[in-house]
A and B are shown apart, each in its own frame.
Chain A
Amino acid sequence: VDLDPVVLSRIQFAFVVSFHIIFPAFTIGLAAWLATLEGTRIATGNSVYRRVFDFWLKVFSLSFGMGVVTGIVMAFQFGTNWSVMAERTGPIQGPLLGYEAFTAFMLEATFFGVMLLGRDRAPPWFYFLSCCMVSLGTMLSSFWILANNSWMQVPLGHTIVDGRIVPADWLAITTGPIMRIRWPHMLLAAFLTTGMSVIATGAWYQLRRQQPAEARVMLHWGLGLVAVIIPVQLFFGHLTGLYVLHYQPAKFAAIEARWTTQQPATEVLIGIPDPSAERNLLAIEVPKLGSYIASGTWDAKEVGLDTFPPEDRPPVIIPFFTFRLMVGMGLIMLAVSWFGVWLGWRRRLDNTRWFLWVAFLSFPTGFVAVLAGWFTAEVGRQPWVVYGLLRTKDAVTPSLATNDVLFSLAAYIAVYAVIYSFGFYYIYRLLRDGPSAAAEGPGDSSLARVPAVAMKSVPGART
């Protein structure tokens, strides 16, 4: 592969967006989890929920800060490296991403401050309302991001006037049929990511025999939540597959590593796609299952990559493996949560140590699934940046020099290495010290661009 500005810009975008997405994916779920905890505390009056809340609030604020810092970088990528796309599709992507920025900052400017520091000043109902509003804000943020990305996957609701892309139907753009599948898919993924993290943290404390009351809340709630959500998520995943089959058949064929059109189609469970020979090595296949998965009948004809001219085909290897990685993570979550709930029902959850180890080690499953899913969606969309409208190679900034992108990519990697090392270290330290340390004060929230009002007057903040 030649290191030209297009390839380097794609690597740079993949790098900064991958490091960014792990924080929003985490904080969307955390915000909802915090609102749930606070609501439960008000309903039950049980102080254990307050201690769990205070603990996760600190993790939330640090993660939120990391998300904001890396998000500002994202806001400039489209302009610096993909200026043709920015100019051509700006009339649609600009307002969508603009709303995302405005929504995020509104949320930050108001209710996040109350949530961090208003505990002693605001009445309980208002504090709870603030938690709900922050949660709503994170979901709205993801709404705009998904609306934008869904439009890039399946552009609709626009007309082309004098070669210019002009929005015609904002309702279709923001709430089209793809959006109605992909936004819930992302929200559920975020909930699962947070759920698995909460489970793992609870299991960690149980293994170390620390803070049993708080650990029990995390473990039992987390497992229950994931157990309920994961089947729904698998269903939405299935719907996502159907939209891909219908609107992006080339991506579907790439995910399936189906090189030639087949009737009936076999399903490649696992194998090693070989793009140069257009076949799969060491493949484990199930005859006819491919037809059933795609069309619901055992003998349907399914299109292969040979249907598409070479310049319209997406890469196969990345979507093929990342898709299977995502599904695999989902199945692990299903197994862990259902077995964990069963153990809880038999009252053996808190002292089945091998299971606690499994639960602890499955901490990254949600993050891996989110990243793998996005890689499937984005790489599978190639060679288009806006599907059917604009090719990736035509979208790059024309004035961009290879050396400039090399320099910026190296700079981002170097700076992120420093910032993330410290950021992850502080989050690790928070998780390790646990709720009893959190109870000493809400300080430490740090990195977060804590709204100004906030900074003041909190005893212990920033020490």
Chain B
Amino acid sequence: MTVVEPSALALFWAGVIAVAIIAYVVLDGFDLGVGILFGTTRDNELRDGMMNAISPFWDGNETWLVVIGASLFAAFPVVYAVFLPAFYIPVLLLLLGLIFRGVAFEFRYRGSARRLWEWGFFFGSTVVAFVQGAAVGAMIRGIPVVNGQYAGSRFEWLAPLPVFTGIGLVLGYALLGAGWLVLKSDGMLRDWAWPRVPRLAGTVLVVLALATVASIAERDRVIGAVFHGRLWGLVFPALGLLAMLGIFASARHRRDAWPFAMTVLVFLASFATLAVLFWPYMIPYSITVGGAAAPEASLSFLFWGAGLFVLPVIAIYTIAVYWLFRGKMRKRYGQSDGGG
């Protein structure tokens, strides 16, 4: 196909979506990760502490998923129309997982059916993480498109590589969650989380290494020439590897802020690696950024309101919330000052 050069507005919206994906993966990643870790203990005090460490943030974090979806439909309708059918069942599982996770925060405290909501919280978090990872794997393998519509089979996302990346992301989010718990808690919960950091980092490293090899082979098979002419792109996997080492080093000295920061760096490096691998495709390897963009009249209509006004407000609000809740969390938010 002929490659259409993306316009400035198309690049702007592609940039918005890229930033929103990074924000989503890092932010919802840690609370999904805490939800995954939640299922690995039966201790109620630990579980309360985990819920407590993410309850002020999780819903704001999910806002970024909506920003991604809305921006995609508005600015790149072709991508929206190919991506969602390609992942019909995974998207369904994602939505149902998010619903169960969301209500678990509220229903868990209401007494009845507590076990059901706790199970829903863990299971929902795990499923959401897995399908997101599987989607990445399926994208690396390439998404077949004919006449602007998805033309692959229904279970491409259950091929070996996507299953691998799915498990990888579950572990990766768990690592991010463990880093968050170390950062935001103290006492028993932090002591519980610390030893899990290097263990999770080790397994993530193994899965990531295997996935990388498999990815390069797949990409090579589909369009040939990995990093062709973009050897500088290798700097990102190298950076990710350094950050991984940073996690192990920090686990020795138990510096509370390090595991989370280093894991974020690993995720950023992975994202950049994928971006170099995929560019200029938005749907690898059939639809480019330029080819997928909505008409200029749509992009500019969106730009003057949502781009210039709404997105900055959401960004400022997000920063304000994290600033407000900086430092260790010592109390359950609902039980401050003897109220209740």
Residues of chain A whose beta carbon lies under 8 Å from any beta carbon of chain B: 65, 69, 72-73, 75-76, 78-80, 83-84, 86-87, 89-95, 97-99, 101-103, 105-106, 108-110, 161, 164, 166-168, 170, 397-401, 404, 407-408, 411-412, 415, 419, 422, 426, 441, 443, 446-447, 449-453, 455-463
- Chain A residues lying within 8 Å of B78, measured Cβ to Cβ, are 87, 90
- The reply to whether the CB of B45 lies closer than 8 angstroms to some CB of chain A is no
Asked if residues B88 and A400 are in contact (CB atoms below 8 Å), the reply is yes
Asked if residues A97 and B98 are in contact (CB atoms below 8 Å), the reply is no
CA distance A458 to B67 in the complex (A): 28
- The reply to whether the CB of B152 lies closer than 8 angstroms to some CB of chain A is yes
Asked if residues B313 and A110 are in contact (CB atoms below 8 Å), the reply is yes
Q: Please provide the 10 A-B residue pairs with the shortest distance between their CB atoms, ordered closest to farther.
A: A459-B339, A90-B77, A79-B84, A98-B74, A94-B74, A87-B81, A446-B106, A462-B334, A449-B59, A101-B70
Chain A nearest Cβ from B216, distance in angstroms: 28
- Known A90-B77, A411-B92; judge A451-B59 contact (CB<8 A): yes
CA distance A83 to B77 in the complex (A): 9
- The secondary structure that dominates the A interface is helix
- Chain B residues lying within 8 Å of A102, measured Cβ to Cβ, are 67, 70, 305-306, 310-311
- The reply to whether the CB of B212 lies closer than 8 angstroms to some CB of chain A is no
* 10 A-B residue pairings within 8 Å (CB atoms): A83-B149, A91-B295, A105-B66, A105-B310, A166-B295, A166-B297, A398-B149, A419-B103, A447-B102, A459-B340
- The reply to whether the CB of B18 lies closer than 8 angstroms to some CB of chain A is no
- The reply to whether the CB of B321 lies closer than 8 angstroms to some CB of chain A is yes
What is the interface size of chain B, counting residues whose CB is below 8 A from a CB of the partner?
71
- Chain B residues lying within 8 Å of A75, measured Cβ to Cβ, are 66, 69-70, 73
- The reply to whether the CB of B63 lies closer than 8 angstroms to some CB of chain A is yes
Q: Which of A80, A92, A441 has the most CB of B within 10 A?
A: A80
CA distance A177 to B156 in the complex (A): 46
Chain A nearest Cβ from B311, distance in angstroms: 8
Chain A nearest Cβ from B211, distance in angstroms: 26
Q: Which of B50-78 contact A (CB under 8 A)?
A: 55-57, 59-60, 62-63, 65-67, 69-71, 73-75, 77-78
- The reply to whether the CB of B85 lies closer than 8 angstroms to some CB of chain A is yes
CA distance A89 to B107 in the complex (A): 39
Chain B, residues 301-340, CB within 8 Å of chain A (1/0): the string is 1100110001101100100110011000000011111111
- Residue from A101, A415, A446 within 8 A of B69 (CB atoms): A101
- Chain B residues lying within 8 Å of A69, measured Cβ to Cβ, are 99, 102-103
- Chain B residues lying within 8 Å of A92, measured Cβ to Cβ, are 298
- Chain B residues lying within 8 Å of A457, measured Cβ to Cβ, are 333, 336-337
Asked if residues B103 and A447 are in contact (CB atoms below 8 Å), the reply is yes
Asked if residues A84 and B81 are in contact (CB atoms below 8 Å), the reply is yes
- The secondary structure that dominates the B interface is helix
- Chain B residues lying within 8 Å of A443, measured Cβ to Cβ, are 334
Asked if residues B84 and A95 are in contact (CB atoms below 8 Å), the reply is no
Asked if residues B305 and A99 are in contact (CB atoms below 8 Å), the reply is yes
Asked if residues A452 and B57 are in contact (CB atoms below 8 Å), the reply is yes
- The reply to whether the CB of B282 lies closer than 8 angstroms to some CB of chain A is no
CA distance A67 to B89 in the complex (A): 23
- The reply to whether the CB of B91 lies closer than 8 angstroms to some CB of chain A is yes
Chain A nearest Cβ from B272, distance in angstroms: 27
- Chain B residues lying within 8 Å of A399, measured Cβ to Cβ, are 85-86, 88, 149-152, 154
CA distance A65 to B95 in the complex (A): 15
Asked if residues B335 and A463 are in contact (CB atoms below 8 Å), the reply is yes
19 additional A-B residue pairs with CB within 8 Å, beyond A102-B310, A397-B149, A459-B340: A65-B106, A72-B98, A75-B66, A83-B85, A87-B80, A93-B73, A98-B75, A105-B67, A167-B298, A168-B297, A398-B150, A399-B150, A404-B88, A407-B89, A419-B103, A452-B57, A452-B325, A455-B55, A462-B333
CA distance A75 to B149 in the complex (A): 19
Chain B nearest Cβ from A430, distance in angstroms: 12
CA distance A75 to B109 in the complex (A): 29
Asked if residues B294 and A90 are in contact (CB atoms below 8 Å), the reply is yes
- The reply to whether the CB of B83 lies closer than 8 angstroms to some CB of chain A is yes
Chain A nearest Cβ from B301, distance in angstroms: 5
- Residue from B317, B334, B337 within 8 A of A110 (CB atoms): B317
- Known A72-B95, A443-B334; judge A456-B103 contact (CB<8 A): no
- Chain A residues lying within 8 Å of B66, measured Cβ to Cβ, are 72, 75, 101, 105
Asked if residues B81 and A76 are in contact (CB atoms below 8 Å), the reply is no
- Known A75-B66, A95-B298, A106-B313; judge A461-B89 contact (CB<8 A): no
Q: Which of A102, A450, A457 has the most CB of B within 10 A?
A: A102
- The reply to whether the CB of B82 lies closer than 8 angstroms to some CB of chain A is yes
- The reply to whether the CB of B148 lies closer than 8 angstroms to some CB of chain A is yes
Asked if residues B73 and A94 are in contact (CB atoms below 8 Å), the reply is yes
- Chain A residues lying within 8 Å of B84, measured Cβ to Cβ, are 76, 79-80, 83, 86
- The reply to whether the CB of B21 lies closer than 8 angstroms to some CB of chain A is no
- Chain B residues lying within 8 Å of A78, measured Cβ to Cβ, are 73, 80
- Chain A residues lying within 8 Å of B85, measured Cβ to Cβ, are 79-80, 83, 397-400
Q: Quick one: closest B residue to A426, CB to CB?
A: B110
Q: Quick one: closest A residue to B144, CB to CB?
A: A399
Asked if residues A455 and B77 are in contact (CB atoms below 8 Å), the reply is no
- The reply to whether the CB of B96 lies closer than 8 angstroms to some CB of chain A is yes
Chain A nearest Cβ from B19, distance in angstroms: 15
- Chain B residues lying within 8 Å of A398, measured Cβ to Cβ, are 85, 149-150
- Chain B residues lying within 8 Å of A452, measured Cβ to Cβ, are 56-57, 59-60, 321, 324-325
- Chain B residues lying within 8 Å of A453, measured Cβ to Cβ, are 56, 320-321, 324
Q: Quick one: closest A residue to B336, CB to CB?
A: A457
CA distance A86 to B333 in the complex (A): 42
Chain B nearest Cβ from A58, distance in angstroms: 13
Asked if residues A422 and B103 are in contact (CB atoms below 8 Å), the reply is yes
Asked if residues A90 and B80 are in contact (CB atoms below 8 Å), the reply is yes
- Residue from A97, A415, A441, A462 within 8 A of B109 (CB atoms): A462
CA distance A146 to B297 in the complex (A): 20
Q: Quick one: closest A residue to B51, CB to CB?
A: A462
Asked if residues B89 and A404 are in contact (CB atoms below 8 Å), the reply is yes
Q: Quick one: closest B residue to A397, CB to CB?
A: B85
Asked if residues A87 and B77 are in contact (CB atoms below 8 Å), the reply is yes
CA distance A80 to B87 in the complex (A): 8
Asked if residues B149 and A84 are in contact (CB atoms below 8 Å), the reply is yes
- Residue from A87, A110, A167, A441 within 8 A of B301 (CB atoms): A167
Q: Which of B95, B148, B152 has the most CB of A within 10 A?
A: B95
- Chain B residues lying within 8 Å of A415, measured Cβ to Cβ, are 96, 99-100
Chain A nearest Cβ from B90, distance in angstroms: 10
CA distance A459 to B331 in the complex (A): 12
Chain A nearest Cβ from B140, distance in angstroms: 20
Q: Quick one: closest A residue to B321, CB to CB?
A: A452
CA distance A422 to B107 in the complex (A): 9
- Chain A residues lying within 8 Å of B75, measured Cβ to Cβ, are 94, 98
Asked if residues B103 and A95 are in contact (CB atoms below 8 Å), the reply is no
- Residue from A105, A450, A462 within 8 A of B63 (CB atoms): A105
